[in-house]
Amino acid sequence: MSRFTLTWTITEKEEGKLVREFLKEQGISKTALTDIKFHGGAIFVDEQPVTVRHRLCCGETLRVLFPKESPSEGMMPEAIPLDIVYEDEYVLVVNKPPFMATIPSREHPGGTLANALLYHYQKQQLESTIHVVTRLDRDTSGLALVAKHRHIHHLLSTLQQQGKITRRYEAICHGCLTEDKGTIDAPIARKSDSIIAREVRDDGQRAVTHFRVLQRLREYTYVSLQLETGRTHQIRVHLAHIGHPLAGDELYGGSREAISRQALHSKELSFFHPIKRKIYTFSCPLPDDMKQLMERVS
Protein backbone atom coordinates (compact mmCIF):
# COMPACT_ATOMS: atom_id res chain seq x y z
CA MET A 1 0.00 0.00 0.00
CA SER A 2 1.37 3.42 -0.94
CA ARG A 3 1.69 6.27 1.56
CA PHE A 4 1.28 9.93 0.68
CA THR A 5 4.56 11.82 0.22
CA LEU A 6 5.63 15.26 -0.96
CA THR A 7 9.09 15.99 -2.37
CA TRP A 8 10.97 19.25 -3.07
CA THR A 9 14.39 20.10 -4.51
CA ILE A 10 15.91 22.95 -2.52
CA THR A 11 16.87 26.05 -4.52
CA GLU A 12 19.40 28.81 -3.83
CA LYS A 13 16.58 31.00 -2.51
CA GLU A 14 15.81 28.38 0.17
CA GLU A 15 19.44 27.73 1.13
CA GLY A 16 19.98 27.90 4.90
CA LYS A 17 16.32 27.60 5.93
CA LEU A 18 15.34 25.19 8.68
CA VAL A 19 13.12 22.31 7.55
CA ARG A 20 10.47 23.61 9.97
CA GLU A 21 10.52 27.03 8.33
CA PHE A 22 10.45 25.64 4.78
CA LEU A 23 7.55 23.28 5.47
CA LYS A 24 5.53 26.08 7.09
CA GLU A 25 5.94 28.03 3.82
CA GLN A 26 4.53 24.99 1.97
CA GLY A 27 1.36 25.12 4.08
CA ILE A 28 2.25 22.29 6.46
CA SER A 29 0.93 23.33 9.85
CA LYS A 30 2.40 22.73 13.33
CA THR A 31 -0.40 20.21 13.91
CA ALA A 32 0.56 18.31 10.74
CA LEU A 33 4.23 18.31 11.76
CA THR A 34 3.30 16.92 15.18
CA ASP A 35 1.23 14.25 13.45
CA ILE A 36 4.18 13.37 11.21
CA LYS A 37 6.51 13.12 14.22
CA PHE A 38 4.32 11.01 16.51
CA HIS A 39 2.04 8.99 14.20
CA GLY A 40 4.30 7.18 11.81
CA GLY A 41 5.44 9.90 9.41
CA ALA A 42 9.02 10.89 8.64
CA ILE A 43 11.17 13.63 7.08
CA PHE A 44 14.13 12.81 4.84
CA VAL A 45 16.85 14.88 3.21
CA ASP A 46 18.62 12.98 0.41
CA GLU A 47 16.88 9.87 1.81
CA GLN A 48 18.44 10.31 5.27
CA PRO A 49 16.04 10.89 8.20
CA VAL A 50 16.26 14.40 9.69
CA THR A 51 14.41 16.54 12.20
CA VAL A 52 12.69 19.87 11.56
CA ARG A 53 15.86 21.57 12.88
CA HIS A 54 17.93 20.44 9.88
CA ARG A 55 19.26 23.41 7.89
CA LEU A 56 18.70 22.98 4.16
CA CYS A 57 21.33 23.28 1.43
CA CYS A 58 20.83 24.10 -2.25
CA GLY A 59 20.34 20.95 -4.33
CA GLU A 60 19.16 18.74 -1.47
CA THR A 61 16.00 16.69 -1.91
CA LEU A 62 13.52 17.05 0.94
CA ARG A 63 10.85 14.36 1.24
CA VAL A 64 7.99 14.23 3.74
CA LEU A 65 6.27 10.89 4.39
CA PHE A 66 2.84 11.52 5.92
CA PRO A 67 1.21 9.19 8.47
CA LYS A 68 -1.06 6.43 7.26
CA GLU A 69 -4.72 7.41 6.91
CA SER A 70 -7.54 4.98 7.66
CA PRO A 71 -11.20 5.33 6.62
CA SER A 72 -13.90 5.81 9.25
CA GLU A 73 -15.09 2.67 10.98
CA GLY A 74 -18.01 1.14 9.14
CA MET A 75 -17.24 2.79 5.80
CA MET A 76 -16.92 -0.03 3.31
CA PRO A 77 -15.47 0.02 -0.22
CA GLU A 78 -18.08 -0.63 -2.91
CA ALA A 79 -17.43 -1.43 -6.58
CA ILE A 80 -19.56 1.42 -7.92
CA PRO A 81 -18.49 2.86 -11.31
CA LEU A 82 -17.05 6.38 -11.12
CA ASP A 83 -17.14 9.00 -13.87
CA ILE A 84 -13.67 10.45 -13.26
CA VAL A 85 -13.11 13.69 -15.16
CA TYR A 86 -9.57 14.27 -13.87
CA GLU A 87 -7.16 12.48 -11.55
CA ASP A 88 -3.57 12.85 -10.41
CA GLU A 89 -1.73 11.75 -7.27
CA TYR A 90 -3.24 14.65 -5.28
CA VAL A 91 -6.84 15.25 -6.40
CA LEU A 92 -9.82 13.79 -8.22
CA VAL A 93 -12.63 15.53 -10.08
CA VAL A 94 -15.70 13.31 -10.33
CA ASN A 95 -18.98 13.76 -12.20
CA LYS A 96 -21.45 12.58 -9.54
CA PRO A 97 -24.78 11.23 -10.78
CA PRO A 98 -28.06 12.32 -9.17
CA PHE A 99 -29.49 10.17 -6.36
CA MET A 100 -26.03 9.36 -4.97
CA ALA A 101 -25.18 10.73 -1.52
CA THR A 102 -21.68 12.16 -1.15
CA ILE A 103 -20.91 10.50 2.20
CA PRO A 104 -22.71 7.77 4.21
CA SER A 105 -25.46 8.77 6.63
CA ARG A 106 -28.14 7.05 8.66
CA GLU A 107 -30.55 7.37 5.72
CA HIS A 108 -27.96 6.34 3.10
CA PRO A 109 -25.32 4.11 4.76
CA GLY A 110 -24.04 2.71 1.46
CA GLY A 111 -23.97 3.37 -2.26
CA THR A 112 -22.33 6.76 -1.73
CA LEU A 113 -19.57 8.57 -3.57
CA ALA A 114 -17.33 7.94 -0.56
CA ASN A 115 -17.89 4.15 -0.77
CA ALA A 116 -17.04 4.22 -4.48
CA LEU A 117 -13.92 6.32 -3.90
CA LEU A 118 -12.71 4.00 -1.15
CA TYR A 119 -12.92 1.06 -3.56
CA HIS A 120 -11.06 3.11 -6.18
CA TYR A 121 -8.31 3.93 -3.66
CA GLN A 122 -7.95 0.29 -2.64
CA LYS A 123 -7.48 -0.69 -6.29
CA GLN A 124 -4.69 1.91 -6.44
CA GLN A 125 -3.26 0.58 -3.14
CA LEU A 126 -3.57 4.09 -1.71
CA GLU A 127 -3.68 4.40 2.09
CA SER A 128 -6.12 7.25 2.49
CA THR A 129 -9.59 8.15 3.63
CA ILE A 130 -12.20 10.33 1.90
CA HIS A 131 -11.76 14.12 1.72
CA VAL A 132 -14.48 15.75 -0.40
CA VAL A 133 -13.71 19.44 -0.89
CA THR A 134 -16.90 20.50 -2.71
CA ARG A 135 -19.77 18.36 -1.46
CA LEU A 136 -23.00 18.01 -3.38
CA ASP A 137 -26.48 17.17 -2.08
CA ARG A 138 -27.65 13.63 -2.83
CA ASP A 139 -29.99 14.77 -5.62
CA THR A 140 -27.60 17.34 -7.13
CA SER A 141 -25.57 16.04 -10.07
CA GLY A 142 -22.25 17.17 -11.48
CA LEU A 143 -18.64 17.94 -10.65
CA ALA A 144 -17.16 17.42 -7.19
CA LEU A 145 -13.55 18.05 -6.13
CA VAL A 146 -11.89 15.43 -3.92
CA ALA A 147 -8.51 15.60 -2.15
CA LYS A 148 -6.59 12.35 -1.89
CA HIS A 149 -4.97 13.26 1.41
CA ARG A 150 -5.71 15.27 4.55
CA HIS A 151 -2.93 17.76 3.81
CA ILE A 152 -4.17 18.40 0.26
CA HIS A 153 -7.66 18.88 1.70
CA HIS A 154 -6.25 21.47 4.11
CA LEU A 155 -4.54 23.34 1.25
CA LEU A 156 -7.67 23.27 -0.93
CA SER A 157 -9.91 24.40 1.94
CA THR A 158 -7.61 27.40 2.42
CA LEU A 159 -7.79 28.17 -1.30
CA GLN A 160 -11.58 27.86 -1.15
CA GLN A 161 -11.70 30.50 1.57
CA GLN A 162 -9.57 32.73 -0.68
CA GLY A 163 -12.02 32.34 -3.58
CA LYS A 164 -9.61 30.22 -5.64
CA ILE A 165 -12.12 27.42 -6.10
CA THR A 166 -15.15 28.44 -8.16
CA ARG A 167 -18.26 26.48 -9.12
CA ARG A 168 -20.90 27.27 -11.69
CA TYR A 169 -24.22 25.49 -11.56
CA GLU A 170 -27.06 25.15 -14.03
CA ALA A 171 -30.62 24.74 -12.84
CA ILE A 172 -34.26 24.74 -13.93
CA CYS A 173 -36.51 26.74 -11.64
CA HIS A 174 -40.25 27.37 -11.52
CA GLY A 175 -41.69 30.47 -13.12
CA CYS A 176 -40.20 33.16 -15.31
CA LEU A 177 -37.25 35.12 -13.95
CA THR A 178 -37.86 38.61 -15.29
CA GLU A 179 -34.30 39.91 -14.85
CA ASP A 180 -31.66 38.56 -17.25
CA LYS A 181 -29.09 38.53 -14.46
CA GLY A 182 -28.76 39.53 -10.85
CA THR A 183 -27.41 38.79 -7.38
CA ILE A 184 -29.19 37.29 -4.37
CA ASP A 185 -27.49 38.51 -1.17
CA ALA A 186 -29.47 37.04 1.71
CA PRO A 187 -28.20 35.38 4.95
CA ILE A 188 -29.01 31.72 5.52
CA ALA A 189 -29.59 29.84 8.78
CA ARG A 190 -30.92 26.44 9.77
CA LYS A 191 -34.67 26.36 10.34
CA SER A 192 -35.37 26.15 14.05
CA ASP A 193 -37.80 23.25 13.62
CA SER A 194 -35.63 21.16 11.24
CA ILE A 195 -32.21 19.52 11.20
CA ILE A 196 -32.14 19.56 7.38
CA ALA A 197 -33.93 22.62 6.01
CA ARG A 198 -32.45 26.11 5.84
CA GLU A 199 -34.07 29.51 5.41
CA VAL A 200 -33.21 33.13 4.76
CA ARG A 201 -33.00 34.83 8.15
CA ASP A 202 -31.43 38.05 9.42
CA ASP A 203 -29.26 36.23 11.96
CA GLY A 204 -27.92 33.74 9.40
CA GLN A 205 -24.52 33.55 7.70
CA ARG A 206 -23.96 35.82 4.71
CA ALA A 207 -24.77 34.06 1.44
CA VAL A 208 -24.34 35.45 -2.08
CA THR A 209 -25.52 33.83 -5.33
CA HIS A 210 -25.13 35.37 -8.79
CA PHE A 211 -27.57 34.24 -11.49
CA ARG A 212 -27.93 34.61 -15.26
CA VAL A 213 -30.87 33.47 -17.35
CA LEU A 214 -29.88 31.03 -20.09
CA GLN A 215 -33.34 30.32 -21.51
CA ARG A 216 -36.95 31.07 -20.62
CA LEU A 217 -39.18 28.02 -20.97
CA ARG A 218 -42.90 27.38 -20.55
CA GLU A 219 -43.51 27.83 -16.79
CA TYR A 220 -39.79 27.39 -16.05
CA THR A 221 -36.45 29.22 -16.40
CA TYR A 222 -33.11 27.62 -17.27
CA VAL A 223 -30.50 29.52 -15.27
CA SER A 224 -26.75 29.64 -14.62
CA LEU A 225 -25.64 30.25 -11.01
CA GLN A 226 -22.29 31.23 -9.54
CA LEU A 227 -21.64 30.85 -5.82
CA GLU A 228 -19.73 33.55 -3.99
CA THR A 229 -20.23 31.74 -0.67
CA GLY A 230 -20.90 28.07 -0.01
CA ARG A 231 -23.72 27.69 2.49
CA THR A 232 -25.69 24.45 2.83
CA HIS A 233 -28.56 24.36 0.28
CA GLN A 234 -27.62 27.91 -0.77
CA ILE A 235 -28.94 27.84 -4.34
CA ARG A 236 -32.10 25.98 -3.31
CA VAL A 237 -32.86 28.41 -0.47
CA HIS A 238 -32.06 31.55 -2.47
CA LEU A 239 -34.19 30.63 -5.47
CA ALA A 240 -37.10 29.69 -3.21
CA HIS A 241 -36.62 33.00 -1.37
CA ILE A 242 -37.19 35.01 -4.58
CA GLY A 243 -40.23 32.92 -5.49
CA HIS A 244 -38.60 30.58 -8.02
CA PRO A 245 -37.88 27.25 -6.29
CA LEU A 246 -36.04 24.57 -8.22
CA ALA A 247 -38.15 22.15 -10.22
CA GLY A 248 -38.38 18.92 -8.23
CA ASP A 249 -37.26 20.50 -4.94
CA GLU A 250 -40.17 19.60 -2.66
CA LEU A 251 -38.24 20.66 0.48
CA TYR A 252 -38.26 24.27 -0.67
CA GLY A 253 -41.59 24.51 -2.49
CA GLY A 254 -40.80 22.97 -5.88
CA SER A 255 -42.98 20.41 -7.64
CA ARG A 256 -41.92 16.90 -8.68
CA GLU A 257 -44.50 16.78 -11.43
CA ALA A 258 -41.85 17.26 -14.15
CA ILE A 259 -38.70 15.79 -12.53
CA SER A 260 -38.11 13.48 -9.56
CA ARG A 261 -35.27 15.46 -7.94
CA GLN A 262 -34.14 19.07 -7.67
CA ALA A 263 -33.06 20.17 -11.14
CA LEU A 264 -29.60 21.33 -10.10
CA HIS A 265 -26.31 20.42 -11.80
CA SER A 266 -22.72 21.35 -10.89
CA LYS A 267 -21.72 22.23 -14.44
CA GLU A 268 -18.27 23.80 -14.11
CA LEU A 269 -15.46 23.63 -11.57
CA SER A 270 -12.29 25.70 -11.55
CA PHE A 271 -9.52 25.50 -8.95
CA PHE A 272 -5.93 26.49 -8.34
CA HIS A 273 -3.91 23.29 -7.90
CA PRO A 274 -1.89 23.73 -4.67
CA ILE A 275 0.94 21.43 -5.78
CA LYS A 276 1.09 21.93 -9.56
CA ARG A 277 0.56 25.68 -9.05
CA LYS A 278 -1.79 26.27 -11.97
CA ILE A 279 -5.51 26.68 -12.59
CA TYR A 280 -7.57 23.73 -13.79
CA THR A 281 -11.09 24.12 -15.22
CA PHE A 282 -13.52 21.32 -16.01
CA SER A 283 -17.11 21.09 -17.22
CA CYS A 284 -19.60 18.29 -17.81
CA PRO A 285 -22.89 18.04 -19.74
CA LEU A 286 -26.37 18.21 -18.25
CA PRO A 287 -27.70 14.81 -17.15
CA ASP A 288 -30.49 13.17 -19.15
CA ASP A 289 -33.35 13.98 -16.77
CA MET A 290 -32.69 17.72 -16.96
CA LYS A 291 -32.25 17.57 -20.75
CA GLN A 292 -35.56 15.73 -21.10
CA LEU A 293 -37.34 18.26 -18.87
CA MET A 294 -36.07 21.11 -21.05
CA GLU A 295 -37.21 19.34 -24.22
CA ARG A 296 -40.70 18.90 -22.80
CA VAL A 297 -41.15 22.53 -21.75
CA SER A 298 -39.23 24.44 -24.43
The CATH classification number of 5-65 equals: 3.10.290.10
Per-residue model confidence (pLDDT) at position 238:
98
Side-chain-side CA neighbours of 244 within 13 Å: the count stands at 23
Least confident of 36-40, 88-92, 116-120, 184-188: 36-40
Taking only the tens place, the pLDDT of each residue in 145-183 is 999 999 999 999 999 989 899 999 999 999 999 999 999
Per-residue model confidence (pLDDT) at position 1:
62
With a pLDDT cut of 90, the percent of the chain lying above it is 85
* Burial (0-12, 13-18, 19+ Cβ within 10 Å), 232: middle
**CATH code 3.30.2350.10 for 167-266+293-297:** yes
- The question of whether 137 is a catalytic residue gets the answer yes
Catalytic residue among 35, 88, 137, 180: 137
Start-to-end Cα distance in the chain: 52
Q: Is the pLDDT of residue 74 over 80?
A: no
Sequence letter at residue 287: P
Q: In the chain, where are the structural domains located?
A: 5-65, 167-266+293-297
Helical residues (DSSP H) of 56-194, grouped into ranges: 113-123, 150-161
Q: Is the pTM of this model over 0.85?
A: yes
Q: Which residue has the higher pLDDT, 208 or 109?
A: 208
